[in-house]
Structure 1
Amino acid sequence: MDLALAHGGKDSVALSRRSPVARDDLEQVFRAAYPRVVAVAARVLGSRDEAEDVAQEVFLTFGRSDVPAGEALPWLSVAAAHTALNHIRTGKRRAGREQAARPHEATVPDVADAVVAAEERRRVRAALARLPRKQAVALVLRHSGLSYAEVAAALDLSPGSVGTTVRRAESALRKELTS
Structure 2
Amino acid sequence: MDVVGHRVSAPAAVLSRGRAAERTRREDGGAVSGRGAVRADLEQVFRTAYPRVVAVATRVLGSRDGAEDVAQEVFLSFARTAVPAGEAPAWLSVAAAHTALNHLRSGRRRATREETAAEPDPTVPDVADDVVTLDERRRVRAALARLPRRQAVALVLRHSGLSYAEVAAALDLSPGSVGTTVRRAESALREELSRHASSH
TM-score, normalised on structure 1?
0.78
Q: Deviations over 1:69-105 (max 9, x none)?
A: 110000000000000000001117975xx8xxxxxxx
Aligned-CA RMSD value? 2.5
1:9 corresponding residue in structure 2? 10
1:66 corresponding residue in structure 2? 82
Q: Deviations over 1:145-176 (max 9, x none)?
A: 00000000000000000000000000000000
Among 157, 164, 174, which residue is 2:180 paired with?
Answer: 164
Between Structure 1 and Structure 2, which shows a larger proportion of helix residues? 1
1:22 corresponding residue in structure 2? 38
Q: Deviations over 1:17-71 (max 9, x none)?
A: 8512611000000000000000000000000000000000000000011111110
Aligned equivalents of 1:93 and 1:43: distance in 2?
14
1:80 corresponding residue in structure 2? 96
Q: How far is the alpha carbon of 1:11 from its aligned partner?
A: 8.5
**SS in structure 1 opposite 2:21?**
coil
Matched, 1:37 2:53: yes
Aligned equivalents of 1:18 and 1:178: distance in 2?
49
1:140 corresponding residue in structure 2? 156
Does the CA-based 8 Å contact 2:11-2:46 persist in structure 1?
Answer: no
Moved over 4 A (4+): 92-95
1:126 corresponding residue in structure 2? 142
**Given the superposition, is the C-alpha separation of residues 90 and 70 from structure 1 closer, same or farther in structure 2, using an over 3 Å criterion?**
same
**SS in structure 1 opposite 2:10?**
coil
Aligned equivalents of 1:93 and 1:68: distance in 2?
31
TM-score, normalised on structure 2?
0.70
Does the CA-based 8 Å contact 2:154-2:171 persist in structure 1?
Answer: yes
Q: Deviations over 1:92-126 (max 9, x none)?
A: 7975xx8xxxxxxxxxxxxxxxxxx6651111001
Return 5+ residue gaps in structure 2 as ranges. 1-5, 23-36, 113-132, 196-200
Aligned equivalents of 2:167 and 2:59: distance in 1?
15
Aligned equivalents of 1:141 and 1:153: distance in 2?
11
**Given the superposition, is the C-alpha separation of residues 11 and 118 from structure 1 closer, same or farther in structure 2, using an over 3 Å criterion?**
farther
Q: How far is the alpha carbon of 1:9 from its aligned partner?
A: 2.4
Aligned equivalents of 1:130 and 1:161: distance in 2?
22
Number of matched pairs? 154
1:102 corresponding residue in structure 2? none
1:112 corresponding residue in structure 2? none
